[in-house]
Amino acid sequence: MINKEFTIDGQYGFHLRPAQVMVEKMSPFTCDVKMKKEDGTEADAKSILGLMSLGLNNGQKVQMETNGADEKKAMATLEELFRTNFGE
Beta bridge partners of 36: 42, 63
75 and 81 in contact (C-beta within 8 Å)?
A: no
Q: Which one from 8, 14, 15, 78 is the annotated catalytic residue?
A: 15
Separation between Cα atoms, residue 86 and residue 20, nearest integer Å: 9
Q: Tell me whether residue 15 is one of the annotated catalytic residues.
A: yes
Residues recognised as catalytic: 15
